[in-house]
Amino acid sequence: MLSKKTKYGLKALTYIARSEDDVPQQVNVIAKSEQIPQKFLESILLTLRKSGILGSKKGKHGGYYLRKEPSEILMTEVMRVLEGPIAMVPCVSLNYYEKCDDCIDEATCSVNKLMIQVRDNTLEVFRNTTLADLSAV
Amino acid sequence: MLSKKTKYGLKALTYIARSEDDVPQQVNVIAKSEQIPQKFLESILLTLRKSGILGSKKGKHGGYYLRKEPSEILMTEVMRVLEGPIAMVPCVSLNYYEKCDDCIDEATCSVNKLMIQVRDNTLEVFRNTTLADLSAV
DNA sequence: ATTAATCCTATCGATTTAATAGGAATTACA
DNA sequence: TGTAATTCCTATTAAATCGATAGGATTAAT
């Protein structure tokens, strides 16, 4: 299942992408529009800012804005920040590889084999989708 | 993340598929071979039996066996039984569709749009993979 | 009978997730 | 210079899920 964090994060990014460029968008406005608990959204946008996808401006008339063009923000990046590794098992993760405790031989492991295929197909989608695609109406 | 339940289930199915036909395979043997907690595996195999993928024989010399040829056991079926819906959000699930509470319009929902693509790509893998593929060495 | 296996239900502990709380720091602007 | 509006940060909590275990009932072979 997709976590609410990711779901909310994607919706918020889409909201920002659809709004006027270079005008910081405020958490409470996004939260109301997208029906997201405000405090929860705060922490999510903070994560996105720390990862470099969003920029922020503090104080009155502050808010969040995109650091790049929507067409340059790949889903691989967004999903990794929000949801974590794309692979469903660490032993097929490109960025966070880890050997399974229980697995004796990856070469003959059926789970490994199947999950590599799932990973590749999912990656294909995320590599070919940008925030611009999501925010297109 | 893939649950341990699914991981263990796939390994057990592979074990059974690789072993001699029509000879029931015992939980404790599979558990030892695949390094799975026995009691946990018991409950998993029970689920697979109730779903019709496995058959069982009770008592001495009992165990579990496949109800169909490995080449006829699709991953769509196995994954749905073990892991649940393939879709990452209920609003794009083919078999368990549910509208999101918060979503005002699915047609313009960016999460919906993205997750449909992920679902289709994952389904593609699962529809084209059978237990025979997993158990091939 | 005895032994060996599945079957069933219940429960427990740990982890993760979703959300909340409270206030510090910063900025605009009157 | 003061006040309101906003992000920033840390901690906490409540609920859900996951992984595993416990204990025995049932069934079948010998």
CATH of the domain at A33: 1.10.10.10
Q: Which among A104, A108, A114 is the nearest to B75, CB-wise?
A: A114
Res. A117: pLDDT tops 90 = yes
Residue B17 shares a structural domain with residue B43: yes
Last residue of a domain, one of B66, B87, B110: B66
Shared-domain flag, residues B91 and B110? yes
If asked whether residues A62 and A77 sit together in one domain, one would say no
Spatial contact of A91 and A99, defined as CB atoms under 8 Å apart: yes
Cβ-defined contact of A102 to B1 (cutoff 8 Å): no
Check whether residue B15 and residue B32 sit in a common domain.
yes
> Into how many domains does chain A fold?
2
Check pLDDT > 90 for residue A101: no
Domain that holds residue B45: 4-66
Domain boundary among A66, A81, A100: A66
Q: Which of residues 77-136 of B touch strand C (CB under 7 A)?
A: none
Q: Chain A contact for B35, CB < 8 A?
A: yes
Per-residue pLDDT reduced to its tens digit, B63-119: 999 999 999 999 999 999 999 999 999 999 999 999 988 788 899 999 999 999 999
Q: Is the CB atom of residue B97 positioned under 7 angstroms from any atom of strand D?
A: no
Q: Is the dihedral of CA B62, B17, B93, A4 positive or negative?
A: positive
| pTM, two decimal places | 0.94
Considering the domain architecture, whether residues B117 and B92 belong to the same structural domain is answered as: yes
**SS in 3 state form for chain A?**
CCCHHHHHHHHHHHHHHHCCCCCCECHHHHHHHHCCCHHHHHHHHHHHHHCCCEEEECCCCCEEEECCCHHHCEHHHHHHHHHCCCCCCHHHCCCCCCCCCCCCCHHHCHHHHHHHHHHHHHHHHHHCCEHHHHHCC
**Same domain flag for A112 and A61:** no
Element (H, E) at B65: strand B63-66
- The rounded distance, in Å, linking the Cα atoms of A89 and B2 is 6
- Of the candidates B19, B46, B66, which is a domain's last residue? B66
Mean pLDDT (whole number) for A15-22: 91
Are B77 and B53 members of one domain? no
Same-domain pairing of A9 and A60:
yes
| Chain A residues touching B89 at Cβ < 8 A | 1-2, 7
Q: Is there contact between A40 and strand C, defined as CB under 7 Å from any strand atom?
A: yes
Tell me what the mean pLDDT of segment B22-33 comes to: 96
Supply angle C-alpha B21, B128, B110, rounded to 5: 140
What pLDDT, on a 0 to 100 scale, did the predictor assign at position A104?
82
Length of chain A: 137
Residue A20's pLDDT is: 84
* Same domain membership, residue A60 and residue A89: no
The reply to whether residue A113 touches residue B134, judged by beta carbons under 8 angstroms, is: yes
Distance B14 CA to C3 C1' (A): 29
Same domain, A86 and A131: yes
